[in-house]
Structure 1
């Protein structure tokens, strides 16, 4: 039997993403990785929210961190240190889901989790036990979905392929590469550095190196050149959200790479474990605007003058006609057929 942890690098192992230790939530501090393996300690929900906003964790990490925050709250209620008030969970959910507005997975997961916990409270049952059971079920389904998507992803990669990614595509992409290597395929992966937080340089590249992949770091403005030189045969990324009619959003820069890939005849395959079928069209996607000051610095060093204007939309949106197929737990799906497979307005969780 396959186990996800056997394939994952350090920062993607479940216990290193977020966990409870004592009376704190520990979040793997990706802002310091790979130079330091450390954990950010959170005593309150607000600490977890701050950590998410400040990019201590990102991608799929905020979902795990938020669930652990809910579990800690539930444990404190069971121990009698907090009143058994259902409103506390609703308030925590409201604060956490505002931290990263583009990706709706956390909001949808917390909606289900809070409902389950409040049901236990209403029955006078142990809400910590219910929260723990919810997390265990989520983790089990997450692993099942990761393998389903990675099996598809690895089947799309041919021996000798060069694969371009963007930002930190996390579990499904790393697992895809691991399975393709396990199948004996010789692959070269190219990862852009991903300014201004350098997720590609600090997270993707070291994770791929850790699992033994042949990975090359490039700057964000190199992908089209590599495509023109015949070095790229597949383009694969995660997405922060896929909506019902096939539009997807991911880290800023994903769109321009998709345009270049289409021009060069290279298929783009984004991974989406949980399309948001309640949203329709590009206008339904909220693009997070981060502090422009972040663009003017790199690892704490200023890159321009203090008075310089800057602009920082954290994500961009890719239209369905640039997508060869969306890799989902239900199969490789044409972006135009998501509604048919998942059902319009249904939850994919």
Structure 2
């Protein structure tokens, strides 16, 4: 077991300092493309390089917001020495805001940072934003523990859970709460091509949380569901619309459809609801470079002279969602 089981969670990809750090050289971002095989850092000396790291998947999911928050510290430091500091801050903020269009956490962090800067003079911006990053991280962990405690009620002793991609801190805390209560939890992790977040990040974290973890190819999930080998499916959510429809990693929709067919409950972790978006149909889906579908872990996995197509996310309608695991309880979509 790693120290993930300790209160501090000082290993893994959970603690703030293991997501991103900042010092005089810039923002250092843990490279999730190679974790846990290698623990390496990508150093970003300025805002454009932070934006590039986010776009290039150096970090993803909740890590993008943390990287963007530190990127705004760099933006504030640079803009504070500019002839037109507030205009320059807005320009740099746009660079970060436009990195990942589907998950709106980066946009939210950037807007919050701008609101903080509006209350201070330029020379005070960096200090105020660094403090806000620490505060935000404490609030995030408290929120995800609330989600986890409600989610753990769905995990009786001997439960068999299927998950997809990297459902962030909430799922690991959820499993940890169950195993700490003495319950055994078996988890099937989809490998989640092309970056293999499921077989690397999720499997590593859930193993350390005390679960018995089995990695399966993405194409095997339907077999498990059809054979009655899964009691429930739990995924993360990159965005939840007002009607309870879910936008998440591509492949989530297929899991929800198959779960519905075989009567397996389908849940998504839901830190917040986007009240400004009525349904998931209003959420833009990021189409990444098709070349990414032709490679895996730095090696080409497709024959030459073929095209690739890679929508990074998909939309799951609310009628396929059994429940959303929120900070205030497990709720049906119509109860949000």
Q: State the SS of the aligned residue for 1:162.
A: strand
Q: Under a length normalisation based on structure 1, what TM-score does the superposition of the two structures give?
A: 0.90
Query: What is the Cα deviation at residue 119 of structure 1?
Result: 2.3
Shift of 1:131: 1.1
Aligned partner of 1:345 in structure 2 is: none
Which aligned segments of 4 or more residues in structure 1 are displaced greater than 6 angstroms? none
* Residues 63-78 of structure 1 mapped to structure 2, 5 A cutoff: 63-75=65-77
Matched residue, 1:256? 254
Q: Cα offset for 1:84?
A: 6.5
Gaps of 5+ in 2: none
Does the CA-based 8 Å contact 1:159-1:186 persist in structure 2? yes
Deviation at 1:265, TM superposition (A): 1.4
CA contact (8 A) 1:8 1:175 kept: no
1:9 and 1:211 in contact (8 A); partners too: no
Is residue 270 of structure 2 the alignment partner of residue 272 of structure 1? yes
State the partner residue of 1:175.
Answer: 173
| CA–CA separation in structure 2 for the residues paired with 1:215 and 1:99 | 33
Shift of 1:75: 4.1
**Cα-to-partner distance string for 1:115-149 (whole Å, 9 max, x where unaligned):** 1112212xx66112321232233122212211110
Distance 1:159 1:83, change over 3 A: farther
Alignment of 1:65-214 (within 5 A): 65-75=67-77, 81-83=81-83, 85-121=85-121, 126-214=124-212
Cross-structure match for 2:58: 56
How far 1:21 sits from its partner (Å)? 2.4
Partner of 1:328: 326
Say if 1:175 and 1:84 are closer, same or farther in 2 by CA, change over 3 A: farther
Query: What is the distance in 1 between the residues matched to 2:265 and 2:136?
Result: 31
Q: What are the superposed Cα offsets for residues 87-120 of structure 1, whole Å, 9 maximum, x if unpaired?
A: 2222222111211110012102211211111221
Identify the residue that residue 12 of structure 2 maps to in structure 1. 10
TM-score for both structures, normalised by structure 2:
0.93
Q: C-alpha root-mean-square deviation of aligned residues, in Å?
A: 1.8
Task: Check conservation: 2:184, 2:211, Cα contact below 8 A.
Answer: no
Q: Secondary structure, in 3 states, of the residue corresponding to 1:11?
A: coil
SS of alignment partner, residue 172 of structure 2: helix
Number of equivalent positions: 332
Q: Indicate conservation of the 8 Å contact 1:104/1:276, yes or no.
A: no
8 Å CA contact 1:227, 1:264 repeated in 2: yes
1:6-48 Cα shifts (integer Å, max 9, x gaps): 3574122211101112231010111111210011101001111
Q: Secondary structure at the match of 1:221?
A: helix
Q: Could you report, residue by residue, the CA deviation over 1:136-195 in whole angstroms, capped at 9, with x for unpaired residues?
A: 331222122111100011111111111111001110001111111001111101101101
Contact 1:145 1:273 in 2 (8 A): yes
**SS state of the match for residue 103, structure 1?**
coil
User: Take 1:5 and 1:294, find their aligned partners in 2: how far apart are those partners?
Assistant: 37
Structure 1: segments with no counterpart, 5+ residues: 339-349
Q: CA deviation at 1:74?
A: 2.9
CA distance in 1, matches of 2:256, 2:87: 44
| Partner SS state of residue 317, structure 1 | strand
- TM-aligned CA distance change 1:8 to 1:231, over 3 Å: farther
Q: Report the equivalent of 1:284.
A: 282
Alpha-carbon distance between aligned partners in 1 of 2:132 and 2:84, rounded to the nearest angstrom? 19
Deviations 1:203-246 (A, max 9, x none): 11122223332111000011121122222111111100001111
Per the TM alignment, residue 284 of structure 1 is displaced from its structure 2 partner at its CA by 0.7
1:301 aligned onto 2:299: yes
Matched with 1:239 is 237
Q: Residues 11 and 18 of structure 2 are in contact (CA less than 8 Å); yes or no, is this contact kept in structure 1?
A: no
